[in-house]
Chain A
Amino acid sequence: MNGDIALRADGLGKRYGSKWALRDCTLEIPLGSVTALVGPNGAGKTTLLQLAVGLSTPTQGEIRVLGGSPRHDASGILPRVGFVAQEHPLYRGLTVDETLKLGRKLNPSWDDGVARERIERLALPGTQKVGKLSGGQQAQVALTLALAKRPELLLLDEPVASLDPLARREFLQSVMEVVAETGTTVVLSSHIVADLERACDHLVILNQAQTQLIGPIDEILASHRLLTGPRTDPATVARVHDVVRESHTERQTTLLVRANGHVYDSCWQLHEVDLEEVVLAYLGQRSITTRSFERRREAVTA
């Protein structure tokens, strides 16, 4: 079973000072998948990816990447993992060619053919300083650096956040081409849900340091339904299905549910949902439960 899992977190937590950046995170990411790690800023996406690449160590729990500990087996794991950090840091004073040379010098598994071919295809000027390139070009250079390692697992932290829509599309296109060619496992984090649906087949929703939903995107879409009907208490529905989010107007109630089997009740109208609706529902749900928790606490203190 271990052979099918690219990344496994077990009760993983990371605390900075008194604040938990990630807590009780348990998940498995299968080999060969393209996983979108979604959540608002500060949800713990960066923390999870940095733990996965050994840039930080867990406060609790453990994380295993390609069967090893990214921090303790660093020399065994690092060559097999490609990582592009948030805002794709690069040595701005180095030229594109020098950046590739840096990659060649620091990676025994470096494939110069892959790097050259990508740089040529992207028409990046080799003698140009990296700091003078556009944001999209810099992201491509950083991706090239990660890809030329021939990684088994590619981790991308907010790779498209700083890019304009065109560069964003081109970047995701590049990632999808690589996946098609090499079958590399990819985990990419984003707070922008649009575009991800085409690029990814698995989804992890992180919010306020905790995982909310994990699974293949097609299963997620198949199991979630939007119900609309006359205004009512959703308790009946909640007995059978998981109500992710409810909203009410004077006459109407709208529920987003994770359906356990079919929804038979004829008073509800069923609608398909898209990925963005599901993600927003889960992110919104969290804030509802937090509010009710605070109300409870107020009641206790009163």
Chain B
Amino acid sequence: MTWAAWRLQRTETLIAAAILALLVVILVPTGIEMANAFHHDGLSACLGQVTSGSCDEAVHSFTDRFHRVGGLVDWFTLVPGLLGVLLAAPFVLDLEHGTYRLAWTQSITRRRWLAGKLGLAVACALAAAFSLILLVTWWRAPLVRIDGRMDNGVFDSEGIVVLGYTLFGLGLGAAVGAVWRRAVPALIVGFVGYLVSRIFVDVWLRQRLLSPLKATWKFDAPSPSGLRHAWVLQEGPSDRFGHFVQPKVGACVRAAKGGARLLDPGCLSHKAGFSMHAVYHPASRFWALQGIETAIFGAVAVGLIGFAAWWTHERTG
């Protein structure tokens, strides 16, 4: 059974491997370059200290230099869905081509066949997802040390959520394919479903998984250390109770050279009584959020794969 399942999934597994190899080819050179630059510019010494002018400059020049590639990597969040639906293809093709009638009339039961086929797909999906996580995490390590990893674009490809995403893509492809029995449209619908779900979670659900923290601090004081590398949902001027307000700044405008006008932070804080307020998830919640989101995607994926197996077992033939 294992050999049969592997042989019938070989092409898709090799395509998945080729996609990962392509990412390696793209990322390894820039990753090495970035790590060298980080080391060479002495950025690690800068981080975690009171910022000084030269450090700021070094950090800025570093982020400017690698900003574009970093943005490219944000698109890699599509890859888990792609790998997932791709690995669902052999299962759906078996139904589309009618070859399940050959497989299920050998000596093994259809239950074993389905378990073997879907089980191998799950194993390959997890292996591919794990490789992707290792690659992107290694590549982005210097950027994470500067900016943290709580922002959506980064959070999506670090930690363990990618395992959940990939299984979810696989489950969607298999479930739609089990009912539709056409590989190409089922996998396209599966991928679109993956995108919609991911956007929903990124934009709406994730920030609500845990209730965010709040902080209020004096307008002219530095932001509290809890906000460092945090995922800030909202930040702005407030009254001293933390209610966001539209500051009336008239009295605190100072004329500067050349006719420009500047706001005096000390004036805003003491005379106008403004504070700053932020709603945020601190960086320390990274693993908690990762765990919850992985559990959600993982559970839905298990449900979808189970549905695909059940539907095929009961409704086919």
Contacts and interface: CB of A to CB of B under 8 A. Distances in A.
Given A56-B317, A98-B7, A101-B3, A89 B101 contact: yes
A187 interface: no
Contacts of B11: 93
Interface in A83-130: 83, 85, 87, 89-94, 98, 101-103, 105-109
B102 interface: yes
A55 interface: yes
Contacts of A32: none
Contact of B4 (A55, A105, A149): A105
B7 to A, nearest CB: 6
B109 A74 contact: yes
Q: Tell me which of A55, A87, A101, A107 has the highest count of chain B C-beta atoms within 10 A of its own C-beta.
A: A55
Contacts of A103: 106
B270 interface: no
Nearest to A103: B106
Nearest to A149: B107
A108 B7 contact: no
A145 interface: yes
B203 interface: no
B109 A106 contact: no
A83 B3 contact: no
A105 B1 contact: yes
A301 interface: no
Given A50-B317, A81-B105, A74 B110 contact: yes
Contacts of A55: 101, 104-105, 316-317
B97 interface: yes
A79 B105 CA distance: 8
A53 interface: yes
A75 B317 contact: no
B117 to A, nearest CB: 12
Nearest to B10: A93
A214 interface: no
A108 B107 contact: yes
Interface in B100-125: 101-110
A79 B1 CA distance: 15
B8 interface: yes
A50 B105 CA distance: 10
Contact of B97 (A57, A89, A107, A108): A89
A112 to B, nearest CB: 15
B276 to A, nearest CB: 63
Interface string B75-112: 00000000000000000000001110111111111100
Interface string A18-52: 00000000000000000000000000000000100
Given A55-B105, A78-B105, A78-B109, A91 B98 contact: no
Contacts of A75: 107-109
A78 B106 contact: yes
Interface residues of A, number: 32
A85 B102 contact: yes
A93 B4 CA distance: 13
Contacts of A85: 98, 101-102, 105
Q: Tell me which of A53, A74, A92, A94 has the highest count of chain B C-beta atoms within 10 A of its own C-beta.
A: A74
A106 B103 contact: yes
A142 B107 CA distance: 15
Q: Tell me which of B8, B99, B107, B109 has the highest count of chain A C-beta atoms within 10 A of its own C-beta.
A: B107
Given A102-B4, A105-B3, A89 B109 contact: no
Contact of A106 (B98, B99, B101, B106): B106
A89 B102 contact: yes
Contacts of B103: 106
Contacts of B101: 50, 55, 83, 85, 89
B102 A145 contact: yes
Interface string A53-86: 1111100000000000000001100110101010
A149 B106 CA distance: 8
A91 B106 contact: no
Contacts of B104: 54-55
Nearest to B314: A57
Contacts of B105: 53-55, 78, 81, 83, 85
A107 B102 contact: no
Contact of B108 (A57, A81, A93, A106): A106
A79 B102 contact: no
A90 B7 CA distance: 14
A106 B317 contact: no
A89 B104 CA distance: 12
A78 B108 contact: yes
A79 B106 CA distance: 7
Nearest to B97: A89
Given A91-B102, A145-B102, 7 more contacts: A56-B317, A83-B101, A89-B98, A91-B99, A94-B7, A105-B1, A107-B106
Interface of B: 1, 3-4, 7-8, 11, 97-99, 101-110, 316-317
Interface of A: 50, 53-57, 74-75, 78-79, 81, 83, 85, 87, 89-94, 98, 101-103, 105-109, 142, 145, 149
- Sort A-B residue pairs by CB-CB distance and give the 10 closest, nearest first: A106-B106, A56-B317, A79-B107, A55-B317, A83-B105, A85-B101, A107-B107, A89-B98, A74-B109, A89-B99
16 contacts: A53-B105, A55-B101, A75-B109, A78-B107, A79-B107, A81-B105, A83-B101, A83-B105, A85-B98, A89-B97, A89-B102, A90-B102, A101-B3, A101-B7, A106-B108, A145-B102
